[in-house]
Amino acid sequence: MHERKRILVTGGAGFIGTHLCRRLVSEGNDVLCVDNFFTGTKDNIEGLLSDPRFELMRHDVTFPLFVEIDQIYNLACPASPVHYQHDPVQTTKTSVHGAINMLGLAKRTGARILQASTSEVYGDPEVHPQTESYNGNVNPIGPRSCYDEGKRCAETLFFDYRRQHGMSIKVARIFNTYGPNMHPNDGRVVSNFIVQALQGDPITVYGDGSQTRSFCYVDDLVDGLIRLMESDEAVTGPVNLGNPGEFTIKQLAEQVIAETGTGSEVVYRPLPEDDPLQRCPDISLAKEKLDWSPGIPLADGLKKTIAYFRDLLA
């Protein structure tokens, strides 16, 4: 029989958090969703609000939180450049102060805590594909560093809390993820391309389109997060979670045009500063320790994501 847990999800009204909350509630857990609604929305979790196992709290993780829980998924932080660069100081605070506050809560309650880190900790990688042992190539003073270095510092704090206090921690490095409930104006490449195509606008590709990304459908990613949380105590991570199938940005644009059935043309713009040219996870560790690998092909995931945006923009 499934043990009913009290689970806190910070950033629970955001893109990934919404899907995680639904999955955890469906498995019979009591879920407390905490969000300050900077990028998350109540619309994302509307279907959960009437469920007695689900509770919503407006709260900013840069301030302490006093609740009783068994597990914490710390997802709170704007994750797209357009949002995390809007208020870079607050972005760093969310990663660093948020980690300190959630680790303090976990320490007090004895909860297991998972940090949603990011592939951005690898910066513009000189190793391909990226393994967890690679320390990265990050610009500490660039326009993306509020996010990159904030997440790197959060990882530092998690492992120091484990060493100093013997806490049960998990760290997931999340690679590009897409699916329903993405913010239409988040500036991420999948949502950008789909929204532009559905509105009949030109699709904007930065650089020459040869840079690569690996796209993981959100259901696969959520499965990986839960497997990591429930894994053996000795498995702390960091663990890469993402799809190792690598696509150029130009290929993605062509596939979105094909799937939407629109006649959008592709236009090219200069590449933003510090935008990585290659991004692809080595998921050997996730396969070995979590028996996890993504199963949803890009074409299938795009169909579901496009259907979501069609309804949203109708």
pLDDT per position as a tens digit, 23-63: 999 999 999 999 999 888 899 999 999 999 999 999 999 99
Is the model's pLDDT at 1 over the cut of 60? no
Cα 269 to chain center, whole Å? 26
Q: How far apart are CA 189 and CA 231, in angstroms?
A: 32
Is residue 310 in some structural domain?
Answer: no
Q: Is 29 helix (H, G, I), strand (E, B) or coil?
A: coil
DSSP state of 292: -
Q: How far apart are CA 237 and CA 222, in angstroms?
A: 16
End-to-end CA distance of the chain: 43
Is the model's pLDDT at 82 over the cut of 90? no
Question: What is the CATH number for 121?
Answer: 3.40.50.720
Quick one: pLDDT band at residue 260, thresholds 50, 70, 90?
very high
Give the model's pLDDT for residue 103: 98
Quick one: pLDDT band at residue 65, thresholds 50, 70, 90?
very high
Across residues 116-132, what is the average pLDDT? Answer: 93
Quick one: pLDDT band at residue 274, thresholds 50, 70, 90?
low
Is the model's pLDDT at 277 over the cut of 90? no
Burial class (CB in 10 A: 0-12, 13-18, 19+), 1: exposed
Is residue 59 in some structural domain?
Answer: yes
Give the model's pLDDT for residue 229: 98
Is residue 22 in some structural domain?
Answer: yes
Is residue 258 in some structural domain?
Answer: no
Q: Is 122 noted as a catalytic residue in this protein? A: no
Is residue 198 in some structural domain?
Answer: no
- Selected catalytic residue, list 73, 84, 147, 217: 147
Across residues 86-113, what is the average pLDDT? Answer: 96
Across residues 146-174, what is the average pLDDT? Answer: 97
Across residues 102-112, what is the average pLDDT? Answer: 98
pTM: 0.94
Is residue 212 in some structural domain?
Answer: no
Number of domains in the chain: 1
Is residue 266 in some structural domain?
Answer: no
Is residue 157 in some structural domain?
Answer: yes
72: domain range? Answer: 6-175+217-242+276-294
Contact indicator for 241, 283 with CB cutoff of 8 Å? yes
pLDDT digits (tens, 9 = 90+) for 243-258: 999 999 999 999 999 9
